Amino acid sequence: MKPAAPESAADVYSETCPSRRALELIANKWALLVVPALRRGPVRNNELLRQVGGISQKMLTQTLRELELNGLVVRSDHGTVPPRVDYALTELGASLSKALLAVDRWAEAHHDQLRPASRRTGR
């Protein structure tokens, strides 16, 4: 019997590579902010709304749902009255958070260098 062929390596530059779906998921502006906001442990919805300035309840709900569906976030409903639901990163989400936190810090450190370039081009 012939051994199974090894899976080819992922290549985000290939149009057909499934890793592109991962890039689409994390390239969302809100996902870039929500994932690192969850890095310290479980957080309730209202706390996330306060932490992530400018996000609407609708966008937060959509973002959390998408992250949960893709295995990056876990939603815990405590079954209490009044309702208590919190969100936490999965192990996979925690690994992504580390990478995104570096992107956040880069943006904070270099935003002022980007503005002059956008003024020169008239955008």
> SS3 string of the chain?
CCCCCCCCCCCCCCCCCCHHHHHHHHCCHHHHHHHHHCCCCCEEHHHHHHHCCCCCHHHHHHHHHHHHHCCCEEEEECCCCCCCEEEEECHHHHHHHHHHHHHHHHHHHHHHHHHHHHHHCCC
Q: What is the reported pTM?
A: 0.81
Instruction: Give 32-87 pLDDT, tens digit per residue.
Output: 999 999 999 999 999 999 999 999 999 999 999 999 999 999 999 999 988 899 99
The mean of the pLDDT values for the chain is 89
| Mean pLDDT within 4-23 | 81
Instruction: Give 86-95 pLDDT, tens digit per residue.
Output: 999 999 999 9
